[in-house]
């Protein structure tokens, strides 16, 4: 499989071609606020303090709680139009908040720090391949399954943090429908669908969700059955994408870190492993039949 040079900032050579997030995020698993939310929050705080108002006082004026004001100032919450307008009026009507609000995005809110760069690349990729042996891939998770995953991780999350992460995950799934010409390939180990997270009804709902998501013409799901022999991808989960420029990049994730891989030789090796596993996994039709058997009757 040919690997073509694309963005030089990613491709590079030697050590520069391999981007690691584990050091950059300091081992922190909590998702950080997006830059636009954080910047907007700092402007709100500066204007509030210039007006001589505490968070509680501003909250009383704009008819929001002081906790909401705090969440906006810390970049953890997307302000609605009412908050922007009322805060603008309460802090001197400078127009700064109205203008800044136009550039707000929560595209990275709820995403782990080391995953954000991959998520940005994912949105513009011309193809995406995913192998997973731990969990149902994020793009195929039902809301209840994703909530259970986030609810069970350590460190524990606040309700607000959990909702942010859940919202970000559900938002990512929309791209499979919104980009019908982009092929999405998934290879998932069968045992993933045996791991219970709720009652029988919840498990059936999960499989129904996976079957529905993978029924799209641009989405392919292959299951590696329990009876399959040892194979080339046993080193762990991997994701591979192709950019519009023809460059292939890979991503792997472990405990407390994620790694974007741009080195051509390493990506080529991962592509070879993935292609080999495709031939060892069940064909799409048999994979769907297996999931339907696992689902069983209600």
Give me the helix-helix angle, 35-50 and 81-90, nearest 10°.
Answer: 30
Cα separation, 160 vs 110, in Å, equals 10
Cα separation, 21 vs 248, in Å, equals 19
- Per-residue confidence (pLDDT) for residue 23, from 0 to 100: 31
Strand order in the sheet with 127-132: 18-20, 257-261, 248-254, 238-242, 127-132, 184-189, 219-224
- β 248-254/257-261 pair status: antiparallel
pLDDT digits (tens, 9 = 90+) for 223-272: 999 999 899 899 999 999 999 999 999 999 888 778 899 999 999 999 99
Q: What is the pTM of this model?
A: 0.66
pLDDT digits (tens, 9 = 90+) for 77-88: 888 888 999 999
Nearest residue to 190 (alpha-carbon basis) of 77, 275, 282, 61? 282
34 pLDDT band (50/70/90 cuts)? low
Tokens, residue 166 = 């859940």
Higher pLDDT: 181 or 9? It is: 181
Does the N-terminal peptide bond of residue 142 adopt cis geometry, omega within 30 degrees of 0?
Answer: no
Tokens, residue 9 = 């900032």
């Amino acid at each position: 499989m040919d690997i073509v040079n694309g963005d030089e900032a990613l491709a590079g050579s030697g050590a520069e071609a391999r981007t690691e997030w584990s050091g950059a995020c300091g081992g922190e698993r909590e998702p950080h606020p997006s830059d636009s939310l954080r910047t907007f929050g700092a402007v709100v705080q500066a204007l509030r303090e210039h007006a001589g108002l505490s968070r509680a006082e501003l909250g009383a004026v704009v008819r929001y709680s002081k906790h909401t004001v705090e969440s906006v100032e810390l970049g953890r919450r997307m302000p609605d139009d009412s908050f922007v307008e009322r805060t603008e009026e309460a802090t001197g009507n400078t127009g700064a908040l109205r203008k800044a609000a136009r550039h707000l995005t929560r595209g990275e809110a709820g995403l782990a720090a080391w995953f954000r760069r991959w998520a940005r690349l994912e949105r513009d990729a011309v193809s995406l391949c995913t192998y997973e042996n731990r969990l149902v891939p994020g793009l195929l998770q039902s809301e209840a399954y994703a909530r259970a995953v986030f609810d069970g991780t350590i460190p524990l999350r606040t309700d607000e943090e959990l909702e942010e992460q859940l919202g970000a995950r559900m938002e990512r799934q929309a791209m499979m429908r919104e980009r019908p010409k982009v092929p999405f390939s998934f290879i998932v180990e069968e045992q993933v669908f045996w791991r219970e997270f709720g009652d029988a009804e919840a498990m059936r709902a999960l499989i129904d969700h996976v079957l529905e998501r993978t029924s799209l013409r641009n989405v392919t799901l292959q299951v590696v059955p329990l009876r399959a022999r040892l194979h080339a991808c046993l080193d762990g989960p991997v994701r591979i994408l192709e950019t519009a420029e023809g460059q292939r990049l890979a991503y792997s994730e472990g405990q407390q870190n994620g790694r974007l891989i741009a080195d051509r030789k390493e990506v080529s090796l991962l592509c070879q492993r993935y292609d080999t596993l495709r031939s060892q996994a069940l064909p799409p039709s048999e994979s769907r039949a297996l999931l339907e058997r696992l689902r069983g009757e209600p």
